[in-house]
Amino acid sequence: MTHEELLEVAEAAARASGDVLIGRFGTERALTSKSTPTDLVSEADHAAEDAIRAVLAQRVPDDAIVGEEGEDVAGTSGRRWIVDPLDGTINFLFGLPQWCVSVCCEGLAGVIWDPVREELFAATADGPATLNGVVLHGSERDDLGHALVATGYGYDSAQRGRQGELAARVLPRVRDLRRMGSAALDLAWLAAGRYDAYYEHGVKPWDTRAGELLCARAGLEVHALAGGDGLPPGILAAPPALAGELLELVGP
């Protein structure tokens, strides 16, 4: 399949998931917790992932699938899909309109679908990042002191404490920090120039793969954060002129 054909599959899967979610938004309640008592999952998460997997099973049955909620599926094609049926579950459950669906054929094509705003962010490995078909360009800011930076925090209280200490170090060095709650949507908004940079420790592949591709195709640098000193690994995305300085600040 071509990259464009894979992108069409990603969009179909993301929209199927979004159709499940938008009808439940504002009324859904938590089903159980996962890694910690504050890391919640709902019936909507499972139903939305089922919708994604149904599209992938029909359109690309030989491909591998890694999802946040379901079992991994081994494939034979050499392609692997990384999917998050609902990134921003806590926002979704609290009625906050900052959540999305992320579907990525790793390294080849990916979309982030925001059903609330009807915004489809899309990219392929050899094409531009787009928002509803309009080409995106990330920030070109070159002064960290004037940069609006997005970040996020984990569910584990000890990890959040370390992330808070890091944020306290970053905050005086930038214009301001934003913490919205959906890593995938943060990366999509970064690709659209709504932030200047983003960093976060503790994110998972299903949180970031589509967003990483979007940011790279929008002209931004994407770097892995190794973690350490109480912080798990993570990622950073920023304009080339800011990436090195921000990396020194939030690394290792």
133 CB neighbour count, 10 Å cutoff: 7
Length of the chain: 252
197, β-bridge pairs = 149
Residue 33 has pLDDT above 50, yes or no: no
Which residues lie closer than 8 Å to 58 by C-beta, 6 or more apart? none
CB atoms within 10 A of CB 90: 16
pLDDT for position 69: 72
Task: Please state the pTM of the whole predicted model.
Answer: 0.93
Q: What are the start-end ranges of the H helices in the chain?
A: 3-22, 43-59, 89-94, 157-170, 183-191, 205-217, 240-250
Instruction: Please say if the pLDDT value at position 183 is more than 70.
Output: yes
Q: In whole angstroms, what is the distance from residue 195 CA to residue 150 CA?
A: 7
Report whether pLDDT(42) > 80.
no
- State the pLDDT at residue 38: 46
